[in-house]
Amino acid sequence: MKRIVATLLLSIMVACAPGSDPVPELSPEGVLPPEDIRSGYAFLTPETQRLQDDRFENPGYLWVDRGAALFEAANASTPACASCHSDGMEGVAATYPAINETSGALLNLEGRINQCRTIHQDEDAYEYESDELLALTAFVAAASNGAPQSVEISDRTAPYLETGETYFRTRRGQFNLSCQQCHTETWGKKLRGDTISQGHSNGFPAYRFEWQSMGSLHRRLRDCDTGVRAEPLPFGDETYIALELYLAARGNGLEIETPAVRR
């Protein structure tokens, strides 16, 4: 596990400018060298990049705007999110998934929002992939746009990183493929009409053309598992949250760019 942590620490300084460099040689541990790490933005067409960059045209901002309204909403018995977070949410999303100091559990941003609802607002948790949870998650994440991902890499997150890395590298499904084979070993190559990205998570929740909607990172992970004809895990599954932590650590230093637009 110390090897995993040491390797991920190398990923803090990152170059994320678009480019068409050839696939580099892998480091001995199978992690891309920091200078070669690129956001999924680098693999988009210029037209899609422009769509993401335009706050008036990017459809994901419909969810961000709704999230802003939910963040300020209150009623007679329920305080608004903003009443506790009056100093804003800048930089918060860049640190998630994170260990919850009270429970010791690993929470992603969706889990932290729902924890606030159930504990501090005395409300039911939002259902995963509901418009409300997507909107609030997108709003909180967008407040960190431009901040570098900086999830915790330490002894206490090491077991989760190991679980996430194991899932990332394990072949599965009828196609017997792993995340590693596509997003570390063959990134930059063509899969039909698409260019294979490095599989980073810094743009989620994201608007995907194939969904014609916003979706969480877990929706994308489930799509990937289904794509290799493996049984996807449930939304919010602990293994997916561990994988989410590993993906964020693998891309530590990449700037948050929510809501991203993807194919």
- Which domains are assigned to the chain? 38-56+149-262 (1.10.760.10), 60-142 (1.10.760.10)
Residue 147 has pLDDT above 50, yes or no: yes
Q: What is the mean pLDDT of residues 138-157?
A: 96
Per-residue pLDDT at 29: 57
Is residue 55 very low, low, confident or very high in pLDDT (cuts 50, 70, 90)? Answer: very high
Q: What is the mean pLDDT of residues 225-254?
A: 97
Residue 1 has pLDDT above 80, yes or no: no
Per-residue pLDDT at 34: 84
Residue 139 has pLDDT above 80, yes or no: yes
Residue 12 has pLDDT above 80, yes or no: no
Measured in degrees and rounded to the nearest 5, phi and psi for residue 208 equal -115, 135
Q: pTM of this prediction? A: 0.87
Is residue 10 very low, low, confident or very high in pLDDT (cuts 50, 70, 90)? Answer: very low
Residue 57 has pLDDT above 50, yes or no: yes
- 81 a catalytic residue: no
Q: What is the mean pLDDT of residues 181-209?
A: 93
Per-residue pLDDT at 86: 83
